[in-house]
Amino acid sequence: MREYIEFRGAARDAWKMEAWDEYMSSLNLELRPQGPHFMVDNRLGAAVALVDEARDVLSGGGL
């Protein structure tokens, strides 16, 4: 997440970068939807995996 926010370089993220530990402690990383869902790895460099994941979901898998 930090890598993505650094890469994005948005002004709205300045506080997040300056107070990273405080920002991270405010997030619930265990929160998941109640219904069927799939996880997407959107880290930098994961473009091929994203295509594979999308193909899997569209073919009826991944849930």
In this predicted structure, the answer to whether residue 63 has a pLDDT above a threshold of 60 is no
Residue 49: its pLDDT value, please?
67
Amino acid code (one letter) for 46: A
Q: Is the dihedral of CA 30, 32, 38, 40 positive or negative?
A: negative
Residue 55: its pLDDT value, please?
81
Question: How buried is residue 22: exposed, middle or buried, by Cβ count under 10 Å (0-12/13-18/19+)?
Answer: exposed
Which position has the higher pLDDT, 29 or 15? 15
Copy the structure tokens of residue 52.
């594979």
Binning pLDDT at 50, 70 and 90, where does residue 56 land? confident
In this predicted structure, the answer to whether residue 33 has a pLDDT above a threshold of 70 is yes
First to last CA, the chain: 24
